[in-house]
């Protein structure tokens, strides 16, 4: 797996955070740089932390799954991607308001980054540098989330569902690539 693959995975993983960021920008009604940075920091940090936890968990069982790393990666990325595609078909913004308080952002950050935990397990099977990978995913999510708040403030939620769908497809394609060993 290359750093380009990790960057593309980071884009796919960040689509949930992007969708919620759009909703937060929509709820705010106008762009607020301070709020955009808070949202981006929360989402970026959690998208970076969760793969590390997944990597540590995966390291414990890596001896058992390393022979099947392509299959395991495909299954995990397919499940995550299919879930994102399913979510893209559901109601738009739900309960994501403009609030950027601690409890609200903690819940949103955990909810949008839980899939990154599974990706960390995949990284352990490939014996990758988890710190570089996590930082790349975190930085990608930070930028995309800040951009999402801006889009939400400008255009509303017409891009939310497309972003989640695209993120799901990206993760499935990367899973197929890993399964085939390309």
Residue 34: the pLDDT is 93
pLDDT surpassing 70 at residue 62: no
Residue 79: the pLDDT is 82
Please state the pTM of the whole predicted model: 0.77
Give the pLDDT band (50/70/90) at residue 125: confident
The answer to whether residues 23 and 157 touch, using CB atoms and an 8 Å cutoff, is yes
Residue 11: the pLDDT is 93
The CB-based long-range contact list for 63-69 (8 Å cut-off, 24+ gap) reads: 65/125, 66/125, 69/122, 69/125, 69/126, 69/178
> Which residues, in sequence order, are CB contacts of 79 under 8 Å at separation 6+?
118
Give the pLDDT band (50/70/90) at residue 80: confident
State both tokens at 29.
Answer: 């009604």
Q: Which of 72-76, 92-96, 99-103, 120-124 has the least mean pLDDT? A: 92-96
Residue 92: the pLDDT is 62
Of residues 42 and 101, more confidence is placed in 42
3-state secondary structure 126-181: CCCCHHHHHHHHHHHHHHHHHHHHHHHHHHCHHHHHHHHHHHHHHHHHHHHHHHHC
């Amino acid at each position: 797996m290359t750093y380009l693959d990790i960057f593309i995975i980071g884009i796919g993983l960040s689509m949930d955070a992007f969708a919620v960021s759009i909703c937060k920008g929509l709820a705010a009604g106008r762009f607020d740089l301070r709020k955009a940075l808070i949202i981006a920091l929360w989402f970026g940090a959690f998208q970076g932390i969760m793969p590390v936890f997944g990597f540590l968990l995966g390291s414990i069982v890596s001896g058992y799954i390393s022979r099947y790393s392509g299959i395991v990666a495909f299954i995990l990325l397919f499940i995550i991607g299919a879930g994102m595609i399913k979510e893209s078909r559901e109601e738009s913004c739900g309960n994501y308001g403009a609030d950027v308080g601690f409890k609200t952002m903690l819940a949103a950050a955990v909810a949008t980054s839980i899939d990154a935990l599974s990706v960390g397990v995949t990284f352990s099977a490939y014996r990758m540098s988890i710190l570089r990978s996590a930082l790349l995913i975190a930085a990608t999510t930070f930028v995309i989330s800040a951009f999402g708040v801006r889009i939400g403030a400008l255009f509303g939620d017409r891009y939310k569902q497309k972003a989640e769908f695209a993120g799901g497809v990206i993760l499935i394609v990367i899973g197929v690539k890993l399964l085939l060993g390309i």
